[in-house]
């Protein structure tokens, strides 16, 4: 521990480490090591604070199975596993690789394919956190006698006597990842810490440099880890037979067919790129294609509707399978802020809670492309209340 603290040669660097909300020295903590800078620094902060740290990398997928090689460029590659191992060696902590390929295929890859075939736009990162990372990580942590699990997410955990453990947004608003964690429950949050949640991304890199970590300036992965070159259409076509493809017509909003398409998985709400054939048919029909977008997808009859940008604006949505993090949400109404996608700003809305885990979301102002399959995550200030999945009304 002392040798790591000795590397922090300015009061500012030491203050960053001291401000982390982590368990008491000596507590055994399992850290999810992805091979990136965030999880690497999370492990270093815990080690510097005197905790008993164990590093675990989750091998969620065999990257070469999808790319034909294992050259890296996304999470889960063998290079990432090697980087995580080398960081663990640098920190002097034990390191293990936990294989979760079968669970990942069944709970993330199959889900991803099924959502697109059903005319929805999936969020595999949320599903991976929910069904794979935290599920398997917690089990392994308990087997190793750990009291806590840590990750490099930009989020925070606080405890309130009234509502219990709370998920709070990260201090870096641009990097906050609470959106992806809305499905965590009280048991999981009670044994979770986010050692970099109080830092900005530049501060994380600064600490990485100070600790001498090889991942300090490593680029972030921007692609879906199991989809080569982000070409999800080709990926889906390679996993299902033609009989499973929901083909049909591209049509105008009033139902006039323009052309046939090869499957609704080729389209997403709000799409404009990659519509050469429908646009050609629309021009022949005398339509102005400068204001044409995919505005609706009917998974029952396979019709993809094109319309103006104004048709993408919605004020209502149904949200299913809602998870409430810190309380049993009462029936009735409540004002919240909601994010309807990760990169969007939280906007004012009113929830009407129905029986079961379903709510009706009333947006204060129209929002563009409220997309079935994406997560709607609810906030009260900087506290994440929970969230669910956007469904068709």
Secondary structure class of 305 (helix, strand, coil): strand
CA separation for the pair 156, 336 (Å, rounded): 19
Six token digits for residue 58 = 């989750």
Q: Which of 125, 128, 148, 193 is catalytic?
A: 128
Where do the DSSP E strands lie in the chain?
28-32, 52-59, 95-99, 148-150, 155-160, 164-169, 192-193, 248-252, 257-261, 293-298, 303-307, 313-324, 332-339, 347-353, 359-368, 375-380, 383-391
Q: What is the DSSP string of 12-28?
A: HHHHHHHTS----TT-E
Contact (CB, 8 A) for 224 and 48: no
Residue 129: name the closest of 192, 204, 197 by CA: 192
Six token digits for residue 33 = 């090591």
In the annotation, is 128 catalytic?
A: yes
Q: Which of 75, 76, 148, 225 is catalytic?
A: 225
In the annotation, is 225 catalytic?
A: yes
Place of tokens 């048991």: 187
Catalytic residues: 128, 225
């Amino acid at each position: 521990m002392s040798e790591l603290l000795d590397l922090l040669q300015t009061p500012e660097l030491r203050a960053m480490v001291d401000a982390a909300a982590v368990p008491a020295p000596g507590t055994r903590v399992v850290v999810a090591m992805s091979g990136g800078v965030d999880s690497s620094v999370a492990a270093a902060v815990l080690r510097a604070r005197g905790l008993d740290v164990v590093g675990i990398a989750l091998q969620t997928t065999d990257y070469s199975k999808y790319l034909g090689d294992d050259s890296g460029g996304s999470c889960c590659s063998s290079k990432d596993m090697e980087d995580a191992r080398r960081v663990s060696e640098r920190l002097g902590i034990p390191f293990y690789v936990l294989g979760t390929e079968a669970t990942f295929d069944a709970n993330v890859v199959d889900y991803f394919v099924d959502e697109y075939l059903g005319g929805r736009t999936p969020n595999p990162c949320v599903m991976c956190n929910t069904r794979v990372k935290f599920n398997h990580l917690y089990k392994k942590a308990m087997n190793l006698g750990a009291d806590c699990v840590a990750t490099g997410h930009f989020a925070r955990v606080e405890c309130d006597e009234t509502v219990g453990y709370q998920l709070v947004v990260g201090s870096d608003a641009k990097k906050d990842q609470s959106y992806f964690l809305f499905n965590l429950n009280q048991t999981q949050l009670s044994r979770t810490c986010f050692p970099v949640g109080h830092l900005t991304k530049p501060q994380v890199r600064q600490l990485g440099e100070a600790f001498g970590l090889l991942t300090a300036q490593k680029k972030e992965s921007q692609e879906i880890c199991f989809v080569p070159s982000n070409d999800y259409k080709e990926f889906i076509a390679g996993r299902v037979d033609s009989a499973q493809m929901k083909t049909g017509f591209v049509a105008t909003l009033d139902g006039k067919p323009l052309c046939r398409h090869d499957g609704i998985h080729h389209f997403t709400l709000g799409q404009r790129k990659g519509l050469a054939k429908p646009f050609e048919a629309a021009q022949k029909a005398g339509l102005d294609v400068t204001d044409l977008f995919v505005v609706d997808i009917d998974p029952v009859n396979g019709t993809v509707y094109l319309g103006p940008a104004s048709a993408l604006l919605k004020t209502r949505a149904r949200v299913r399978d809602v998870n409430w993090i810190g309380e049993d949400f009462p029936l009735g109404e409540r004002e919240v802020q909601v994010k309807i996608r990760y990169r969007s700003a939280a906007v004012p809305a009113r929830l009407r809670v129905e029986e079961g885990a379903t709510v009706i979301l009333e947006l204060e102002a129209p929002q563009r492309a409220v997309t079935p399959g994406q997560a709607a995550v609810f906030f009260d200030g900087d506290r994440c209340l929970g969230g669910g999945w956007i469904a068709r009304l």
